[in-house]
């Protein structure tokens, strides 16, 4: 495997020669004050891991969706307000972190990434989840902590592989009944949720052996 780490090099921009490294399978560009990503990233067709975390990116090029071999994509702690629809082509992606970005609304592309097993959408100002989240049937871990969610869709019941669900610090007022039917749920984290009253769903999950944190 060919890997290149340029972590915390204070680059400002990605050196042009990086886009010529078409042999790369892993590229770390985290913590470099990057404000834009060149469409030349599409040349790195062998990439399995791309780390763009801790930068100042406000947008992403459609070209990123051409990296269809990606397994791991880190986009956390940037200034991204939306994800291009082209990212929905990343069907092989297993891990995605878009936390700490001012997304506000749920990006439609996320529900097209049907290979995901772990998704982290933390501290993004998200107020609602779409019913289409039920397409992510392979998810094993979903972290939605510190958003603005007051309710969750019943389609969460389709996430039958889900093991861990982190809902900390959301203003939830109710939980979907479908949550109690998730066969493999091991951990439900509701700490710092002060708006949710007692609900039989939690008792049912605890009875089945799910650890419920409040």
CB contact set of 207 (below 8 Å; sequence gap of 6+): none
- Based on the structure, what is the number of domains in the chain? 2
Query: Is 176 within 8 Å of 198 (Cβ atoms)?
Result: no
pLDDT (tens digit, 9 = 90+) per residue, 121-137? 999 999 999 999 999 99
Using CB atoms within 10 Å of the CB of residue 92, give its burial: 0 to 12 exposed, 13 to 18 middle, 19+ buried: middle
Q: Are strands 95-97 and 118-120 parallel, antiparallel or unpaired?
A: parallel
The residue from 74, 101, 123 where one domain ends is 123
Do 10 and 96 have their domain in common? yes
Q: Is the pLDDT of residue 193 over 90?
A: yes
Do 86 and 119 have their domain in common? yes
Do 104 and 136 have their domain in common? no
Assigned token pair, 4: 């290149």
* Strand extents, DSSP E, the chain: 2-5, 24-28, 49-51, 72-74, 95-97, 118-120, 141-143, 164-166, 187-189, 211-213
Structural domain boundaries, residue 203: 127-214
Do 36 and 48 have their domain in common? yes
Query: Is 48 within 8 Å of 68 (Cβ atoms)?
Result: no
DSSP state string for 28-49? E--SS------GGGGG-TT-SE
Do 23 and 71 have their domain in common? yes
Do 162 and 205 have their domain in common? yes
How many Å apart are CA 66 and CA 141, to the nearest integer? 25
How many Å apart are CA 35 and CA 32, to the nearest integer? 9
Do 10 and 107 have their domain in common? yes
**What mean pLDDT, rounded, does the chain reach?**
97
Q: Is the pLDDT of residue 104 over 90?
A: no
Q: What is the CATH number of the domain that holds 116?
A: 3.80.10.10
pLDDT (tens digit, 9 = 90+) per residue, 129-161? 999 999 999 999 999 999 999 999 999 999 999
């Amino acid at each position: 495997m060919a890997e290149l780490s340029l972590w915390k090099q204070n680059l400002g921009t990605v050196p042009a020669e990086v886009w010529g490294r078409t042999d790369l399978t892993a590229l770390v560009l985290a913590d470099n004050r990057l404000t834009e990503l060149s469409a030349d990233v599409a040349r790195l067709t062998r990439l399995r891991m791309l780390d763009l975390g801790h930068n100042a990116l406000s947008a992403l090029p459609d070209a990123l969706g051409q990296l269809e071999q990606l397994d791991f994509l880190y986009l956390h702690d940037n200034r991204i307000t939306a994800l291009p629809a082209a990212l929905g082509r990343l069907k092989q992606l297993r891990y995605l972190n878009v936390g700490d970005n001012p997304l506000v609304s749920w990006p439609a592309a996320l529900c097209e990434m049907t290979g995901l097993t772990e998704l982290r959408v933390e501290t993004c100002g998200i107020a609602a989840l779409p019913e289409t989240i039920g397409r992510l049937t392979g998810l094993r871990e979903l972290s939605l902590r510190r958003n603005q969610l007051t309710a969750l869709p019943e389609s969460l019941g389709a996430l039958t592989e889900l093991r861990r669900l982190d809902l900390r610090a959301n203003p939830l007022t109710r939980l979907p009944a479908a949550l109690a039917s998730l066969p493999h749920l091991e951990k439900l984290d509701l700490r710092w949720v002060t708006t949710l009253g007692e609900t039989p769903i939690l008792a049912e999950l605890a009875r089945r052996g799910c650890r419920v944190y409040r």
